[in-house]
Structure 1
Amino acid sequence: MGAALAVVLGSAGVVAVGTPAAYAATPSDEVAKLPISSFGAMVVDDAHERVYLTDGSRASGASQVQVYNFQGQKVGSLPTDKAASGMALSADGATLNVSQSDRILTFDTATQARSGAKYTSYDVYCGREIAVAGGKTWVTETPYTNSYCDSSDSNTTLNKVGDTYPVATGWSTTGRMRLAAGPEAPDRLVMGQAGAGSAANPFLTTFDASGETLVRGPQRRFADAAGKGALDLKDIAQSADGKRIAVADAAYGTRLLDASDLADAPTGYQSPAEGAKASAVAFSGDGKYVARGAVASGSTPDLLIQSADPADGTTPIEFAFEGELDGSRVVPRGLDWTKDGSRLFAVTSDGSYGHWLHVIKPPAAQYDSRFTGTLGTTPSKPVVGEPLGIRGKLELDGPAPAEPVKVAAVRKDADGTQEVAAAKVAADGSFTVLDVPDRLGEATYTLRFLGDVTHRPAEDVTVTVDVAKAATVIELTAPAEATREDGVEIAGQLTGQGRALPSGIALKVTRTDRLGTTGELTSASVAADGTFRIRDLPNKKGKTVYAVSYEGDALHGGSSAQATVKITG
């Protein structure tokens, strides 16, 4: 392990939470904001170094397939007559098949020119899955009369696309279908049932597509006798040697199955981190890696890259996506590799309309990172509306990062959870996260280092502070002596920390004479600039004490001040 790069903290205790997470997207990874509001499919064309993406929209009207190069730069688009959903390359890679509601469009992958269209039954609402197996193109179809694409009464048919009209395979079921095929097993078509209703027990099956008609192979359902453990299918992938099928199951994790009978493989992949739900899976073409995507929050991994052999004990490379610039989760079916395994393409979303394409080059090794020492705050007693600094140190093993890394933070208080601006980590490992708490009471700050391309993330640390009311101060300027005839005039100033003091403040004023008699005078009105004046005609000679007090407000504490005046004449 390389020399440690120190990154210090202050005085409150560090509390580790969760498990080591992942490394976030960094300048070493290319990240592109996609011009799509939803995600349909992604295809990687190694021969021409292109990545094709559709948005899977159900909107009517013309659309387009987005085209990117292997560096994550947009290099064009392919126009479609209607919204595009599924895609698949032909067996020889010369043709890109793109499904839309009433036909399968074909594009020449060398020239990017549209080369034809094969008509299919009309499917306006649900989009299509498309796969090439046995040298033939297969699509799913959901009747256009039913817009509830994921409901258990949406009858779906698997069709072979012919030169003019589709040829039904005779297979019909309910709920949305997922298809998978590829060069790993060129004659095998894998189909799984998704969105078939909460009470359903979805299936997974394979077909031999080498002949003119499909020959169905093994089928499996996953729920036990009590109905527990049903499949929640998000993605399907076949291993490079074709012997294994991996299924991203949001209810389970990544299932690894024997392709010959769909039984569980002797050794499976580890369970996802707590709180993560599997969303995507993809094997690299060289057979070395498997990528496993998930929907997770915070520093919980959204992506694992590890040996395709589950018996390999090498620590997975872990990624966490959590930010406005790179998304917060891997979308279903949002992973694909180059054939040589040198690049992984990952599509992430923010859980809404934002989508990003990541081009990830897995590093040869990752090193550990950790928060060290204790977290401290400046000031030690934070107040509402005043800047609060949280000081800390991060230690990185291995090589120093090429770019300054950042520590992210969130604040949780009675109003909920709020992101805090990330802080850069200095060369000595020190950092200061800045925030301005805006409500009273307990606030817990969770600090996160999501890692970089060569460093795993650190365990989250937390510090809890008690945010107090902002202090106020009253200053008085009074004469040392005054006469009963001329009276007493006292000037004052009320100031406060944090948020601006409210308007219309009236200060309580009392007078105590030499005999100890105390009386309340007319309150002093505070001007917008915080100044006020007190005028009084005392009726007794001798030492007289004037006391001025402010009871405070919702965000400011109270304060008081006294002035002593000798009354003569």
Structure 2
Amino acid sequence: MTGAALAVALGSTGLVAVGTPAAYAVTPSDEVAKLPIASFGAMVVDDAHERVYVTDGRRSSGESAVLVYNFQGQRVGSLPTDQPVSGMALSADGATLHVSQSHRMLTFDTATQTRSGASFVPYDVTCGRDVAVAGGKTWFTETPYNDPYCDRPDNIASLYGVSGTSHVNTGWQSQGRLKLAAGPGAPDRLVVGQAAAGADANPFLTTYDASGETLVRGPQRRFADAEGKGALDLKDIAQSADGKRIAVADGAYGTRLLDASDLSDAAAAYQPLPDGAKSTAVAFSGDGTYVARGAAASGSTPDLLIQPADPANGTTPLEFAFEGELDGLRVAPRGLGWSKDGTRLFAVTSNGNGGLWLHVIKPPAAQHDSRFTGALGTTPAKPVVGEPLGIRGRLELDGPAPAEPVKVTAVRKDADGTQEVAAAKVAADGTFTVLDVPDRLGEATYTLRFLGDVTHRPAEDVTVTVDVAKAPTAVELTAPAEATRTGGVEITGKLTGQGRALPSGIGLKVTRTDRFGTTGELTSASVAADGAFRVRDLPSKRGKTVYEVSYAGDALHSGSSARATVKITG
């Protein structure tokens, strides 16, 4: 996929995202087709015949068509219509495609790709419809055709059913447009959401039992709190493969995962979308393996996440950032659909200026295990504050070798809290070295993590604890072998230290011990910025004299000292 970026993101359960993931090349199995339309209506995936149907969302009149693509992203035909089409839905057996027009609901035989029937329905010229099949019946929405401002919250939207060549008014209405969803995991459940609310600005989500002759409403929920915050900004709805969960793409919140039985928040939630990404679409794969979450984001911020449908699964999501002229810039609202077996995700992207693309993305068929092996080692064996510390280890990856080097991430926990450590690339033989510069004395625990990649599951974390010591210092002296009492003694030297720079204004302690064992302290020696210092003395006694220069150390450096012996004559 030209111009898109695939990134490995943090996804292990219980872990905190501590940095921006590194970007990797996109798998070449992704295919893309430029759609010959300037607006997007709906997309339906037909597994039985390996077809993808796409409608134009334009609001006008005249001949139109449903675009037909195969599972390789190639256009293979069209289903002609005499008026623009909007919403679509596939029958439970996949034999019939239901397509809405401004005044009719058309049906097409998916095997022969020919029109098989039509039902007359209330006019909806400009706003388009949502269509869903639940309880073996077709349901659709209608917004007043004579109002060109389709998203006005004071519009009265109605819910209808198809009956033979006509329609049935269910009696259910709401202010603002409605969105519908149904799925094979709960074939009798119809999910209805309010895309825009009236004066209360608190849209609802509800479900209906469509198994009988009339709809029976189930649980409903509004999301704003007592202060009016957190209201639903509905973009898309999806039901899980087993029917137990409902996912909602909320433009203000992100991806909401709900318990289908009462619409309460699911026990485990998906991690938030990346900063700056606004939710636009959500879809579950038919085999229950994956969930895809689409978004609108700018630049390299991901617009699409593909991850396990179970939010408790720690497998790292795949992240796609659409930012190229040949790919689109964001996932279109309701622009995601899966093949039933979860081997292909179909995504419609938009550039916001009338450009639309159909992507065929193939998640990995299987993911393999990974693990850290052997004990972690450190270099140096005794780390010091302010000096580089290397943590060495080995990572084993089952299955195929990664196309790009994977990375091991790490965090350091010490008395100051938890700090991210730069990630390290893993060599072809599995070895790696994480580098850090500890900045505090005492115990530090490093936790190393492999968060998975396209084909590998995350590894179980490993830890190593080290005791960070003060950085060593050294005093070097240059002294004459002999000197006279009258000429005096001059000793030069240098103070050096590892780790952080030594503080300025250091004064070194200087002592002199004569041949009689008498020790006296001399004037301290001042250390220059480059560590150099000088000691001058006029000794009073002849014979062997020992000069000692010492540094007491500081909060981050240990002390050190050096001696020089000078023979005093004359």
Using structure 2 for the length normalisation, give the TM-score.
0.61
Matches within 5 A, 1:515-534: none
Counterpart of 1:407?
A: none
Residue 62 of structure 1 and its aligned partner are, at CA, apart by 1.0
Residue 25 of structure 1 and its aligned partner are, at CA, apart by 5.4
Counterpart of 1:183?
A: 184
Residue 164 of structure 1 and its aligned partner are, at CA, apart by 2.8
Residue 365 of structure 1 and its aligned partner are, at CA, apart by 5.5
Residues 1:153 and 2:187 aligned together: no
Note closer, same or farther for the CA distance 1:282–1:186 as it changes in structure 2 (3 Å cut).
same
After superposition, give the CA deviation of every residue in 1:139-160 in whole Å (9 maximum; x if it has no partner).
Answer: 0001112221111111000001
* Letter aligned with residue 277 of structure 2: A
Once residues 108 and 177 of structure 1 are traced to their aligned partners in structure 2, the CA distance between those partners, rounded to angstroms, is 27
Residue 27 of structure 1 and its aligned partner are, at CA, apart by 3.5
* Letter aligned with residue 99 of structure 2: V
Counterpart of 1:61?
A: 62
Note closer, same or farther for the CA distance 1:23–1:58 as it changes in structure 2 (3 Å cut).
farther
* Letter aligned with residue 299 of structure 1: S
Contact 1:234 1:280 in 2 (8 A): yes
Once residues 244 and 400 of structure 1 are traced to their aligned partners in structure 2, the CA distance between those partners, rounded to angstroms, is 35
Matches within 5 A, 1:26-65: 27-65=28-66
Counterpart of 1:353?
A: 354
Residue 21 of structure 1 and its aligned partner are, at CA, apart by 6.6
Counterpart of 1:307?
A: 308
- My pick for the range that moved more, 22-31 or 240-249, is 22-31
Counterpart of 1:338?
A: 339
Residue 116 of structure 1 and its aligned partner are, at CA, apart by 1.0
Counterpart of 2:299?
A: 298
Once residues 258 and 182 of structure 1 are traced to their aligned partners in structure 2, the CA distance between those partners, rounded to angstroms, is 15
Note closer, same or farther for the CA distance 1:319–1:232 as it changes in structure 2 (3 Å cut).
same
Once residues 182 and 137 of structure 1 are traced to their aligned partners in structure 2, the CA distance between those partners, rounded to angstroms, is 13
Once residues 368 and 321 of structure 2 are traced to their aligned partners in structure 1, the CA distance between those partners, rounded to angstroms, is 14
Once residues 26 and 315 of structure 1 are traced to their aligned partners in structure 2, the CA distance between those partners, rounded to angstroms, is 16
Once residues 146 and 402 of structure 2 are traced to their aligned partners in structure 1, the CA distance between those partners, rounded to angstroms, is 59
* Letter aligned with residue 344 of structure 1: L
* Letter aligned with residue 227 of structure 1: G
Counterpart of 1:139?
A: 140
After superposition, give the CA deviation of every residue in 1:98-153 in whole Å (9 maximum; x if it has no partner).
Answer: 00100011110000011111110111010000000001000000111222111111
Counterpart of 2:243?
A: 242
Counterpart of 1:286?
A: 287
Residue 28 of structure 1 and its aligned partner are, at CA, apart by 2.5
Residue 165 of structure 1 and its aligned partner are, at CA, apart by 2.2
Once residues 72 and 242 of structure 1 are traced to their aligned partners in structure 2, the CA distance between those partners, rounded to angstroms, is 29
Once residues 348 and 143 of structure 2 are traced to their aligned partners in structure 1, the CA distance between those partners, rounded to angstroms, is 26
Note closer, same or farther for the CA distance 1:270–1:185 as it changes in structure 2 (3 Å cut).
same
SS at the partner of 2:208?
A: strand
Matches within 5 A, 1:142-541: 142-196=143-197, 200-363=201-364, 364=366, 399-400=402-403
Once residues 22 and 260 of structure 2 are traced to their aligned partners in structure 1, the CA distance between those partners, rounded to angstroms, is 31
Contact 1:187 1:209 in 2 (8 A): yes
Contact 2:367 2:454 in 1 (8 A): no
Note closer, same or farther for the CA distance 1:23–1:300 as it changes in structure 2 (3 Å cut).
farther
Once residues 357 and 60 of structure 2 are traced to their aligned partners in structure 1, the CA distance between those partners, rounded to angstroms, is 21
Aligned residues between the structures:
363
Once residues 127 and 241 of structure 1 are traced to their aligned partners in structure 2, the CA distance between those partners, rounded to angstroms, is 30
Specify every segment of 5 or more residues in structure 1 that has no aligned partner in the other structure, as ranges: 1-16, 368-396, 402-451, 456-569
Contact 1:21 1:318 in 2 (8 A): no
SS at the partner of 1:179?
A: strand
Contact 1:152 1:175 in 2 (8 A): yes
Specify which structure has the bigger relative contact order, considering alpha-carbon pairs within 8 angstroms and separated by 6 or more residues: 1
Contact 1:22 1:319 in 2 (8 A): no
Residues 1:20 and 2:26 aligned together: no
Note closer, same or farther for the CA distance 1:22–1:33 as it changes in structure 2 (3 Å cut).
farther
Note closer, same or farther for the CA distance 1:272–1:400 as it changes in structure 2 (3 Å cut).
closer
Greater Cα radius of gyration, structure 1 or 2: 2
Residue 20 of structure 1 and its aligned partner are, at CA, apart by 2.0
Once residues 267 and 230 of structure 2 are traced to their aligned partners in structure 1, the CA distance between those partners, rounded to angstroms, is 19
Residue 318 of structure 1 and its aligned partner are, at CA, apart by 1.0
After superposition, give the CA deviation of every residue in 1:326-352 in whole Å (9 maximum; x if it has no partner).
Answer: 111001111111111011101101122
Specify every segment of 5 or more residues in structure 2 that has no aligned partner in the other structure, as ranges: 1-17, 370-399, 405-452, 457-570
Once residues 195 and 176 of structure 1 are traced to their aligned partners in structure 2, the CA distance between those partners, rounded to angstroms, is 6
Once residues 22 and 179 of structure 1 are traced to their aligned partners in structure 2, the CA distance between those partners, rounded to angstroms, is 36
Once residues 132 and 196 of structure 2 are traced to their aligned partners in structure 1, the CA distance between those partners, rounded to angstroms, is 19
Once residues 315 and 68 of structure 2 are traced to their aligned partners in structure 1, the CA distance between those partners, rounded to angstroms, is 35
Once residues 241 and 155 of structure 1 are traced to their aligned partners in structure 2, the CA distance between those partners, rounded to angstroms, is 33
